[in-house]
Amino acid sequence: MLLAVLSGFILAALAPWLTRSLQDKAGWVLALLPAGLFVYFLSWVPVVVAEGAQVVAYPWIPGLDISLTMLVDGLSLLFALLISGIGTFIIIYAGGYLHGHEYLPRFYAIMFSFMAAMLGVVLSNNLITLFVFWELTSITSYLLIGFHHEEKESRWYALQGLIVTVGGGLALLAGLIMLALAGGSFELHEILASEELRDYGFYAGMVILILLGTFTKSAQVPFHFWLPNAMAAPTPVSAFLHSATMVKAGVYLMARLNPGIGGTELWLYALGIFGALTMFTGSFMALRSTGLKAVLAYTTVMALGTLTMLIGIGTEQAIIAAMTFLLAHALYKAALFMLAGALDHETGTKDITRLGGLRQLMPITFITACVAALSLAGLPPLFGFIAKELMFEATLQAPLISTFTTVLAVVSAIMIVAMAAVFSLRPFLGPLKETPKKPHEAPLSMLIGPVVLAGLSLVFGLAGFLPATALVGPAVAAVHGAPLDFDLYLWHGINLPLMLSVLAVVAGLLLFWQWDRVLAVYRRMTFIDRFGPERGYEKLMDGLVWLAAWQTRLLQNGYMRNYLLTIVLTTVGLTGWTFFVHTGSSAPLGTIEFAVHEIVVAGLVVLGAIVASVTSSRLGAVATLGMVGFGIALLYVFFSAPDLGTTQIMVETLTVILLVLVLFRLPAFQNLSSAAARLRDAVVALSLGGLMTLLILAVNAVEVTDRISDQLVAWSYPEAHGRNIVNVILVDFRALDTLGEIFVVGLAAIGVYAMIRLRAEDRKK
Amino acid sequence: MQTIMAFLIGALFAASIYMMLRRSIVKLVIGLILLSNAANLLIFTVSGLTRGLPPLIPEGAALPEGGWADPLPQALVLTAIVIGFGVLAFAVVLIHRAYEVINEDDLDKMRSTDT
Amino acid sequence: MTNEAFETPNLLLALPEIWLLAMACVVLVVDLFSNDRDHGPAFWLTQVTLLGGIIITVSTQWGVDATTFSGTYVADSLGALLKIGILVLAFLGFAYSRDYMRDRGILKGEYYMLGLFAVLGMMVTVSAGNLLSLYLGVELMSLSLYALVAIDRDSSRASEAAMKYFVLGALASGMLLYGMSMLYGVTGTLDLGEITAAAAELDDRRFLFLFGLVFMMVGVAFKFGAVPFHMWVPDVYHGAPTPVTLMIATASKVAAVGLFLRLIGEGLLPLLESWQHMVVLLAVLSLLIGNTVALVQTNIKRMLAYSTFNHVGFILMGFVAGTPEGYAASVFYALTYAFTVAATFGVVLLLARKGFEADHITDLKGLNDRSPLFAFVVLILMISLTGIPGTVGFYAKWMVLKSVVEAGFVWLAVLAVIGAVVGAFYYLRLVRYCYFDKAEGEGPQPTGSGGFQAVLAANGLLVLVAGIFPGTLVAVCLAAFL
């Protein structure tokens, strides 16, 4: 099972090489892998039908407790079969469609990676691996949609799809982690077995986050705009993305989680209402489209909405309808897309209004299109009819939102019937029209898929028990949480769903008859383009760039003093906060006792610091700095540190000399800052100074009894034979640190040397 | 006296930060010098001040007479003073060179960063 | 220490540092008396020094747990692991940089000297058992790096970057020093082990520890480049010569991990609940800021600078739990990140030639057509930086996330993953350029000697191998703490 998922990645690595060496036969040979996988998954069907869900575990990195577990039940098998089965035909089809294309090897590589990722999504039992595969489908589909990367539009729409789905993915991840917390495990089969998910404290937040992920992936309103734009992809990709993969991943996840977190009012309203709206939007937009692929793309939006709505309704009837509809849609949508590609490929145009009279030239295409379109329209004896009947039944029985969903379902059905007719009849009937290429029948590689899939739609329609027991039944059991006993057949007797179907067909055909007028009406409704959610997306993207620029201006503006201000203020904030939390606002003032000479020196130091800060003369600044330095030296001496005093005096002298030497090679002082800036800086500086004062007072209030230096004093003479304890510490006890100090100073010297030497070399030049 | 020293050090810190925030490159150098002085005094002060008891051992004794000032922070400060000077020398040359290469002493003009 | 006699230090325990110090002096002297314009003897001696340092460290310090120089120096597995990382990274940095520095006329003897001193400073930092030696190590490292940034005399960008780096760094070092003096003021000792013991006992003076802690945290955060002490990072990454940027981005990050662990992670572990929220704050800010800015960068060095914040956030997250597993995760993350980034800068250096920097992202366009090998290396590096499963970057993220989730910070984990996914955009953009775009004009060709190319390829492939067999490195990192 693990190999089944990973084989796609392995073949992806080999695909470019295989494609080059196999030349024309590449498509047929490469299709052997998905075909083999299809057979393999098929062999699991009896196991699952007989024994229920299976969990297959593989240890991956035992040291980090990561294992790969796979969940094989009706739902994952249904998806796996669709992915591998339709994938087989897509691979063959791509061999014909992209025949001789420069990047065909690369195409196969990405395509197999995508297929493997998709299998990973539907078979993963671990939430983390599921998410990883989920994001992998986003990234690989981005590469597929942007396959024609020379075209700017293609790249733009690919990126749009990626950003919307990955953005949703982020929300999903947060939702999944909450789900894992609520369920106490990252393994799906354990989470779904938990009874407490619906009582989880953050249930609503969790559901909304998960739905943000699935809605963006499955193109629900208001995130639906990226899907039709993704038509920029080559047709084999669209056929695969729209029928069995990518966009269905969202539906898969909602169906998967339904037994665990479904069945609440939130679930019903969110899925039911957004699903129904999506269904309506999809059909409404399909009706106004004239491109072959655009029509199909919007009917996909319709189908995704329908599926979401049915999962939301969640009754037994609705679940059966959802799984049946899922299967029916995958079959006819893949066939129709491949046919659209064939028409485009052989005539050179995708515009329905420019096609006509092709029934003689492309008879197989015509007949197959009719069969598949009948299934789309939901007419007997196709499988799509069963699905549509079940859907009407489910909406009629829906709790709370029955009227809303039924009305939208019927209206959508009317428009879909019209578009099915437009798609299957307009290009083929009537007089032959001029097309960019001289049309002829498509090659076998491009027809085998549509013919087989459309044929299956017919077979499943006539023999409903086949899918009912093997495919839909186990899937329904998985989504509902318990097996249901049902059967699929065409004739349900004369009932309300049948009447609604008849109504839809009649009204739909009327609409088809008047389609050119409908188009004219649409053309006047320009507001759709101006205020759609796509504009929102563009605004958002602009906003992101603006945010980045704003952030840069704020944080990375190059002004060093702003960097300094940030560091100082953060420090003051953190320390000040700690201070007041722990001591209250009162500073522990010690007793103020001092000797006169001390206070005089201290006063001079402060005075020097102030003068140095405000003087406008360089010489004055250097002189007062000297005063500060020598004053400090005196303070050292007063407080029993004669060594420090001498060192400070020497260093201070050197500093003054250095300053005099260098400072006067620099320009004179200037007052560059405004008064407001000076005031702000003074406030910041004083706040840090004040804070330091408070801290010293606080430290001074503490008595330290046992200092390690007492030992050093005791050792000083007996061990090191030195009478100046400070010196003994420096050269004996702490010799290593002193060595380090010497190196730091030496290093500074090397740095100074490096820079001064460069100057000397400059002069030589 | 600890209290007065606390205020003295606070004043030194305030002056140094104020100078470092100025736009003139020369004032930056002065700010750095004040900063290093303030830091040294800070270490010295928080380790405790003692009057008139330098840590020196008189001839013939094994310990200083009548107590002693803590010698360890003095050693620490001594190290800090010397390092501070090395760093300062480095800083002065570095800043001088930045001025030479860029030929501008207004720090606000030194901002080649994102645009 | 009471009533013990003064013991003579065991010099052998500090052999790696002594070796490096001695060899640095040898390099200095040899270079002075060499007439080679390319400073060949200095280069080869430096590389021998670093390799020798690795061998000595492995043989004398791994698995040891001892102190010498009166507790000033600690020889243990953690120090050994970090040192080996630092030495290897420095080796890579020097191997990648020779052609670049020569082409720009800045291949000086000082380059090797300063580089070796920086490495020495880092080694002292990660082996410090005492506040003072820790501070000295940090200063040695920082000063060398400031000087290295300024080594290109003609670049105004470099001079400006060096100045900013220096001034801000001096302030941060100052903060570190104030924090340390606070600790001394409260405990009366500089020894980290005794400070740890004091921190566990002192209840009434606990808040004084906290002030010291805040200041030290500021200093450490600055060395990491953690937000909001991060502003120097983009300017310095961009302004410094690329080999120096490499050193700052890789080895100094590893040293910063050592600094944190010695000073706070282990030294002040008893105060965990007090510093935990500070680390969380730094981690959150680091994760949030930078990512969006990185999205719009067109300069690879700037992009890596902004994306660093995200990784720094991850490294800090490993510290949050205060457990050996968390620390091991941080060390693992820092090491693997540093090696990946080193190779990334290596690619930039590989494509650079005289008068041309190759640090614009479009310079990678069509790399696959020019050099499939290095396009593949870029692919490995970028997916590893993104953290896609199966790469070493993923295991690093996983270990860190596991430790924070176990510490009860689930929201932090969620935030981190979101940041990582955003990162995918700008990392994978480079992959797209390499494979899917055509070069504008000729496009920069890989230059550089065979040795350089071989080391770089090995570096890239090692990242791949580490992703396939992460077990050993994980075990080593865990062993350093257990």
Tell me, what's the ipTM?
0.91
Contact A713 B1 (CB under 8 A): no
Q: Which of residues 526-545 of A touch C (CB under 8 A)?
A: 544-545
Contact C168 A61 (CB under 8 A): no
Instruction: Using DSSP, state whether C61 is helix, strand or coil.
Output: helix
Residue C119: name the closest of C23, C31, C10 by CA: C23
Close Cβ partners of A554 (under 8 Å, ≥ 6 residues apart)? none
Close Cβ partners of C85 (under 8 Å, ≥ 6 residues apart)? C251, C254, C334, C335, C338
B19 touches chain C (CB under 8 A): no
Residue A110 binned pLDDT confidence (cut-offs 50, 70, 90): confident
Contact A748 B87 (CB under 8 A): yes
> Taking the C-alpha atoms of A33, A35, A41 and A42 in order, what is their torsion angle to the nearest 10 degrees?
-160
Contact A696 B111 (CB under 8 A): no
In the predicted model, is pLDDT for residue A319 greater than 50?
A: yes
Distances in Å between the alpha carbon of B33 and those of A376, A664, B15, B105, C171?
82, 17, 11, 18, 12
C231 touches chain B (CB under 8 A): no
CA dist., res. C433 & res. C422, Å (int): 18
pLDDT of amino acid C244:
94
DSSP state of A430: S
pLDDT of amino acid A528:
63
Would you list the domain boundaries of chain A? 263-525
Per-residue pLDDT tens digits of chain C, which is 482 residues long: 444 556 677 888 889 999 999 999 899 889 888 888 788 889 999 999 999 999 999 998 888 888 887 788 888 999 999 999 999 999 999 999 988 888 888 888 889 989 999 999 999 999 998 888 899 899 899 999 999 998 887 788 888 888 889 989 988 988 898 888 888 878 878 889 888 888 888 666 777 788 888 899 999 999 999 988 888 898 899 889 999 999 999 999 999 999 999 999 888 888 888 889 889 999 999 988 878 788 778 888 888 998 899 999 999 999 998 999 999 999 999 999 999 999 999 999 998 888 788 888 888 888 888 888 898 899 899 989 988 767 899 889 988 988 888 888 878 887 888 788 778 778 888 887 887 777 777 778 888 788 899 999 999 999 988 887 888 888 889 888 87
**Can you give the pTM of this predicted structure?**
0.81
Buried b (16+ CB within 10 A) or exposed e, A370-383: bbbbbbbbbbbebb
Tokens 């007492």 belong to which residue? Answer: A710
Quick one: tokens of C282?
């730094």
The answer to which of A129-143, A587-601, B86-100, C12-26 has the lowest mean pLDDT is A587-601
In the predicted model, is pLDDT for residue A764 greater than 70?
A: no
Instruction: Using DSSP, state whether A371 is helix, strand or coil.
Output: helix
Contact A61 C187 (CB under 8 A): no
Contact C167 B20 (CB under 8 A): yes
Beta carbons of C339 and C89 less than 8 angstroms apart: yes
Contact B102 C235 (CB under 8 A): no
Quick one: tokens of A679?
């005031």
The answer to which of A152-161, A187-196, A464-473, C228-237 has the lowest mean pLDDT is A152-161
User: Can you tell me the mean pLDDT for A493-500?
Assistant: 85
**Cβ-nearest to C214 among A564, A574, A751:** A574
Diameter of chain B measured on Cα atoms: 71
pLDDT in tens, A510-529: 988 888 888 888 777 766 66
Q: A381 preceded by cis ω (within 30°)?
A: yes
pLDDT of amino acid A420:
92
The angle at the Cα of B91, spanning B87 to B95, to the nearest 5 degrees, equals 175
User: Can you tell me the mean pLDDT for A204-225?
Assistant: 88
pLDDT in tens, A331-344: 999 999 999 988 88
The answer to which of A3-12, A147-156, A173-182, A407-416 has the lowest mean pLDDT is A147-156
Q: A222 preceded by cis ω (within 30°)?
A: yes
Query: Is the CATH number of domain B2-50+71-105 1.10.287?
Result: yes
**What sign results for the dihedral spanned by CA atoms C263, B86, C113, A731?**
negative
**Cβ-nearest to C418 among A63, A170, A579:** A170
Q: Which of residues 35-74 of A touch B (CB under 8 A)?
A: none
Instruction: Using DSSP, state whether A443 is helix, strand or coil.
Output: coil
C369 touches chain B (CB under 8 A): no
Single-letter amino acid, residue A404: F
CA dist., res. C226 & res. C208, Å (int): 24
Beta carbons of C257 and C334 less than 8 angstroms apart: yes
Residue B73: name the closest of C140, A648, C69, C188 by CA: C188
Residues of C in contact with B36 (CB under 8 A): 174
User: Can you tell me the mean pLDDT for A378-399?
Assistant: 90
DSSP bridge partners of C356: C353
pLDDT in tens, A245-300: 888 999 999 999 999 888 888 999 999 999 999 999 999 888 888 888 888 999 99
DSSP string, A512-527: HHTHHHHHHHHHH-TH
In the predicted model, is pLDDT for residue A726 greater than 50?
A: yes
Would you list the domain boundaries of chain B? 2-50+71-105
In the predicted model, is pLDDT for residue B115 greater than 50?
A: no
pLDDT of amino acid C3:
43
Residues of B in contact with A752 (CB under 8 A): 89-90, 93
3-class DSSP string for C212-248: HHHHHHHHHHHHHCCCCCCCHHHHHHHHCCHHHHHHH
Beta carbons of A460 and A327 less than 8 angstroms apart: yes
Q: Which of residues 735-764 of A touch B (CB under 8 A)?
A: 737-738, 741, 744-745, 747-749, 751-752, 755-756, 758-759
Residue A434 binned pLDDT confidence (cut-offs 50, 70, 90): confident
DSSP string, C359-374: -BGGGGTTHHHH-HHH
In the predicted model, is pLDDT for residue A158 greater than 80?
A: no
CA dist., res. C17 & res. C19, Å (int): 5
CA dist., res. C213 & res. C211, Å (int): 5
Contact C156 B112 (CB under 8 A): yes
Residues of A in contact with C293 (CB under 8 A): 548, 551-552, 556
Residues of A in contact with B24 (CB under 8 A): 669-670, 672
